[in-house]
Amino acid sequence: MTKVTMTVNGKSVSADSEARTLLSEFLREGLRLTGTHVGCDTSQCGACVVHVDGLAVKSCTVLAQDVAGAEVRTIEGMANADGSLGVIQQAFQDHHGLQCGFCTPGMVMTAASLLKDNPKPTEHEVREYLEGNICRCTGYHNIVKAIMAASGQDVSAIAAE
Amino acid sequence: MPKDHGIGASSKRREDVRFLTGKGVYTDDMAMQGQVHAVMVRSTVAHGKIVSIDTSGALEMPGVLAVFTGEDFVEVGGNPAGWLIHSRNGEPMREPKRPVLAHGKVRHVGDAYAAVIAETYAQAKDAAEAVAAAAQIAELPAIIDMKTAVADSSNRVHDEIPDNVCFDWGWVEDNRAAVDAAMKAAPHVTTLELVNNRLVPNAIEPRASIGEYFPGTGNYKLTTTSQNPHMTQLLISAFVLGIPEHKLTVVAPDVGGGFGSKIYHYGEEALVLAASKKLGRPVAWTAERSESFLSDAHGRDHVTKIEVGATLDGEILAFRTETLANVGAYLSNFATVTPTFLHGTVMAGPYKVPHVYVNLKTVFTNTAPVDAYRGAGRPEATYSLERVVDKMARELKLDPIEVRRKNLLTPDQFPYTTPVAVIYDTGNYQATLEKSLELADYDGFGARAADSAKRGKLRGIGLSTWVEACGLAPSHLVGVLGARVGLYDAATVRVNATGSLSVMVGAHSHGQGHETVFAQIVADKLGIPEENIDIVHGDTSKVPFGMGTYGSRSLAVCGSAVTKAVDKIIAKGKKIAAHMLEAAEGDIVFENGSFSVAGTDKSKSFGEIAFSAYVPHNYPLETLEPGLEETAFYDPGNFTYPAGAYLCEVEVDPETGKVEVVNFTCADDFGNVMNPMIVEGQVHGGVAQGIGQAIIEQTSYDADGQLLSGSYMEYAMPRADDMPMFTVDHSCVTPCTHNPLGAKGCGEAGAIGSPPAVVNAVIDALQRGGYTHVTHVDMPLTPSRVWQAMQG
């Protein structure tokens, strides 16, 4: 066991870590930040996406000890300072971009990464960027819509209702 | 102007806030005090005799507390099938015991035959490998292909079942001779052999369970990923472990999707309870995704021959089907009803067809158990019907749309008794068909096809008109058909002294948004704000005995129970108000949240009545009990029959065979809609699962029973870029006539109606493109399958 220290959602934190401890385990079991979910064993589903030093990564594929000292941001750090939903989170609620909620943390973290790189993505670009995030509930329609709305684009034309 | 609250409003979902901020609490998010970890040891062979399991080495390993094998559960019961089906000859189905852990034989890859409990997950996992290495399992020939399983009695999944057939069922058996005669006399018969491909449900949250035993009281608690905690409690109590029902609480907290796979009781749930009792520690188990693939109940897996008899101008005279349905190695809880009464009863589709006969054999194989997956039997029926009707239209050189127009039931025919023994209460199938054509701009298809052609693509359009039976289910009817449970649901409305409400419901929400929708219904009926109402679900110690969520039943059945309970609250409130207002009960009117004396300005608010019920100083105590809490059970009078028309447009790349769904239009009749936003979301999700089935999803076992599609590396889950934006409409409303909400249910429609629309569209594209020899391609329509079909 080694004590690993990193900054998570702006706070310096430490927890014990084995060499094989994954970042997802470190967050969920070490820090009890259980908003980051694990939905597969092969780095496909994307429920575990967090930001490490500003980059979206699948935390089930990163060893905790390898990111000692890093700045990590999780779904628990995405709300506004006053506790209200952030822009992306609010868009997901407004446009019904989630159902069971299990893939949602990863979707929100991936969406934040997309909009940082590409502030006004097209529908096609959003769909391409979500390649590594699987949702079984929504059919993606409302996720894509929510992300485009969060980017400030008018989504009424793709309401498709 | 859309409503902004109550029934019919697109209220934003209250549950979203916790899910969007990482504050949802799913089973694996919990950490009980002193919790230890279970890892299952699963068979790596499809069929084998368990010779010995030496656990001594594993028990010596660090942190290991116990190893369980099938021997430890020999004295307890088995996990039963929920429906008893009889064969055509009157014999009851063959029903082999399904133990907690495999005993004697392993029967599919992934069949758990031992479980290791250790202080940490990693220690349990290491020791599970040691158990597997020390186990001697003599491999037997695997039984995988259904036709071989039925024909070869020398090789048996269960030794006592010679032909591997669970039952041979006819529906309706009395129709058989008339159908045969109608088919013989028909001027034209179209025959189609098809496969309804096996699917893995793949809720993104893997199954997980935590067992706790409390020695001070002798009570047990199971926290688990369940769609219906009361059924799990009942099964564990009455059938599997014999824990008295009042000593076992089952909690299903936030659950990350189910789609059917979390309806059922699984052995791991019994295991963690038994282990907790033995060790005096909470025992937690969470599936890895590979375990989900190997051990969750799969869906579909039918091989069907369907025939339609018709006149030369396309009037449907008869349907006849023969199906082999895979149930896998053991009977999962709904495995016997899914291919029978959830399938045969809708084999008349939306058509005025006089003669229908369904024959279906369910077959044991050395594969994971197969059970209800979103739609459950109705997608299989709809796929067979809508494919064969399309093929018939093509053979007769008729427009598939005109053939539907000719044969759809007309609004004046309802209520309509079908030849497969159900009564459709309401519907307007012409309305949804015409709506779908309008929304899809059917008339503009030619121009779009020309545009596709310029880009070297073949464009096609496919239709599916469908009806399903859901809102499970009228107990008096299902009892006759073999159900071993009732299928009512229940709700308790507790008005608190300050006028806020806690509503305890038997349905469970795992994505459907019950916390929002049930609050909308109660708020609408009581005229109080939605935020004053809390919906409680998923805890058998808190909610009345309900049957959970599946079969698009939550709103139609549990929502009706909520409505009935609210009606009782209003009725009692009127009595209290009559006393307080010194008026006759019959003169009290309840409107907009207040009780008033008709024709006067005398009134009491809902809050005042609630307060009086709990502080009964001015209260008719001699005739009325204090308090304001009512429970209602609702048992539906019939199934509900949502229906619709779906149009799919595809582009096929003739160079590669790749299919792209470019437009998908749904016109649904769900009866009355409570929350349009949520209904549309349900359709989107269902359609995506149907498109997934049609073009990419495939569960493959090799001849030895090894699962070739055992992870997201091999099993193609629909991604965002596989899907188009959907056009969804639910404006064609014929309310259900037998429940108080007039609601029919919307959860499964998308998955039921969409696969044949996709396949019909691909066949249309190929036919239009000159590949006229291609009349059918089995799902999933992968590039290689389509390309090979094109090559002839």
Say how many domains are in chain B: 3
Measuring CA to CA, which residue among B285, B59, B85 is closest to residue B167? B85
Same domain, B527 and B582: yes
Using pLDDT thresholds of 50, 70 and 90, give the confidence band for residue A129.
very high
The parent domain of residue B284 ranges over 31-140+205-256+262-295
Q: Which two tokens mark B788?
A: 């090979």
Same domain, A53 and A91: no
Rounded average pLDDT over B352-370: 98
Alpha-carbon dihedral B350, B352, B354, B359, rounded to 10 degrees: -10
Same domain, B320 and B451: yes
Q: Return the number of other C-beta atoms located less than 10 Å from residue B498's C-beta.
A: 10
CA distance B469 to B381: 11
Same domain, B582 and B649: no
Q: Is residue A141 part of a domain?
A: yes
Residue B227 has pLDDT above 90, yes or no: yes
- Out of B20, B256, B684, closest to residue A92 by CB: B20
Q: Is residue A97 part of a domain?
A: yes
Q: What is the pLDDT of residues B597-613, one digit of tens each?
A: 999 999 999 999 999 99
- Of the residues A77, A98, A120, which one is the last residue of a structural domain? A77
Same domain, B381 and B248: no
Number of H helices, E strands in chain A: 5, 5
Say how many domains are in chain A: 2
Is there a contact between A42 and B15 if contact means CB atoms under 8 Å apart? no
Same domain, A18 and A45: yes
Q: Is residue B14 part of a domain?
A: no
Q: How near does any CA of chain B get to the CA of A103, in Å?
A: 7
Same domain, A21 and A64: yes
Cis peptide before B654 (omega within 30 of 0): no
Is there a contact between B20 and A33 if contact means CB atoms under 8 Å apart? no
CATH code at position A98: 1.10.150.120
Residue of B nearest to A132 (CA): B719
Residue A157 has pLDDT above 90, yes or no: no
Q: How near does any CA of chain A get to the CA of B376, in Å?
A: 17
Q: What is the pLDDT of residues B688-701, one digit of tens each?
A: 999 999 999 999 99
* Secondary structure of residue B739 in the 3-state scheme: coil
Q: Is residue B11 part of a domain?
A: no
Is there a contact between A93 and B17 if contact means CB atoms under 8 Å apart? yes
Q: Is residue B23 part of a domain?
A: no
CATH code at position B509: 3.30.365.10
Is there a contact between B12 and A42 if contact means CB atoms under 8 Å apart? no
Q: Is residue A37 part of a domain?
A: yes
What is the H or E stretch that residue B209 is in? strand B208-214
Residue B748 has pLDDT above 50, yes or no: yes
Residue B408 has pLDDT above 60, yes or no: yes
Rounded average pLDDT over B745-756: 98
CATH code at position B231: 3.90.1170.50
Same domain, B56 and B93: yes
Q: What is the pLDDT of residues B95-134, one digit of tens each?
A: 999 999 999 999 999 999 999 999 999 999 999 999 999 9
B373: which chain A residues are within 8 Å (Cβ-Cβ)?
A: none
Q: Is residue B269 part of a domain?
A: yes
Residue of A nearest to B292 (CA): A40
Residue B1 has pLDDT above 70, yes or no: no
- In this prediction, residue B2 carries a pLDDT of 72
The parent domain of residue A131 ranges over 87-150
Same domain, B309 and B222: no
Q: Is residue A155 part of a domain?
A: no
Helical residues (DSSP H) of chain A, grouped into ranges: 23-25, 87-94, 104-117, 123-129, 141-150
Please tell me the pTM assigned to this model: 0.98
B591 CB-contact burial (10 Å; exposed 0-12 / middle 13-18 / buried 19+):
exposed
Q: Indicate the DSSP class of residue B722.
A: G
- In this prediction, residue B4 carries a pLDDT of 83
CA distance B131 to B584: 75
Same domain, A99 and A127: yes
- Residue B115 bridge partners (DSSP): B40, B68
- Of the residues A77, A108, A139, which one is the last residue of a structural domain? A77
- Of the residues A52, A77, A102, which one is the last residue of a structural domain? A77
Same domain, A47 and A103: no
Same domain, A102 and A123: yes
Q: Is residue A158 part of a domain?
A: no
Q: Is residue B5 part of a domain?
A: no
CA distance A96 to A91: 8
Same domain, A68 and A99: no
Q: Is residue B159 part of a domain?
A: no
- In this prediction, residue B3 carries a pLDDT of 83
Q: What is the pLDDT of residues B254-303, one digit of tens each?
A: 999 999 999 999 999 999 999 999 999 999 999 999 999 999 999 999 99
Same domain, B628 and B646: no
Residue A159 has pLDDT above 60, yes or no: no
Rounded average pLDDT over B580-602: 97
Residue A161 has pLDDT above 50, yes or no: no
Same domain, B286 and B308: no
Contact residues for B660 (Cβ-Cβ < 8 A; gap 6+): B650, B651, B652, B653
ipTM of the complex: 0.98
Is A76 in CB contact (< 8 Å) with chain B? Answer: yes
Q: What is the pLDDT of residues B528-557, one digit of tens each?
A: 999 999 999 999 999 999 999 999 999 999
Most A-contacting residue of B227, B441, B725, B758 (CB-CB within 10 A), to test interface: B725
Rounded average pLDDT over B401-408: 98
Pairing of strands B423-424, B208-214: unpaired
User: Is-contact B461 B437, C-beta < 8 A?
Assistant: no
Same domain, B421 and B520: no
Rounded average pLDDT over B218-245: 97
Same domain, B401 and B544: no
Q: In what order do the strands lie in the sheet with B105-106?
A: B105-106, B48-53, B135-139
Most B-contacting residue of A78, A130, A134, A141 (CB-CB within 10 A), to test interface: A141
A residues 47-66 lying closer than 8 A (beta carbon) to B: 47
Residue A114 CA: distances (Å) to CA of A54, A118, A148, B95, B198: 11, 6, 11, 53, 35
CATH code at position A66: 3.10.20.30
Is there a contact between A37 and B256 if contact means CB atoms under 8 Å apart? yes
Same domain, B413 and B324: yes
Q: Is residue A118 part of a domain?
A: yes
Same domain, A94 and A71: no
B26: which chain A residues are within 8 Å (Cβ-Cβ)?
A: 34, 37, 102
Most A-contacting residue of B16, B33, B730 (CB-CB within 10 A), to test interface: B16
Same domain, A98 and A53: no
What is the H or E stretch that residue B647 is in? strand B643-652
What is the H or E stretch that residue B269 is in? helix B267-279
Q: Is residue B59 part of a domain?
A: yes
Inter-helix orientation angle B400-407/B378-395, to 10° = 120
Same domain, A32 and A96: no
Q: Return the number of other C-beta atoms located less than 10 Å from residue B251's C-beta.
A: 20
- Out of B289, B681, B729, closest to residue A41 by CB: B289
Q: Is residue A112 part of a domain?
A: yes
B718: which chain A residues are within 8 Å (Cβ-Cβ)?
A: 134, 139-140
Same domain, A28 and A56: yes
Same domain, A25 and A69: yes
Q: Is residue A82 part of a domain?
A: no
Q: Is residue B556 part of a domain?
A: yes
Rounded average pLDDT over B642-665: 98
Q: How near does any CA of chain A get to the CA of B669, in Å?
A: 14
Q: Return the number of other C-beta atoms located less than 10 Å from residue B184's C-beta.
A: 10
Same domain, B221 and B107: yes
Q: What is the pLDDT of residues B719-744, one digit of tens each?
A: 999 999 999 999 999 999 999 999 99
Q: Return the number of other C-beta atoms located less than 10 Å from residue B370's C-beta.
A: 28
Using pLDDT thresholds of 50, 70 and 90, give the confidence band for residue B153.
confident
User: Is-contact B299 B199, C-beta < 8 A?
Assistant: yes
Residue B352 has pLDDT above 80, yes or no: yes
Q: How near does any CA of chain B get to the CA of A69, in Å?
A: 23
Is A144 in CB contact (< 8 Å) with chain B? Answer: yes
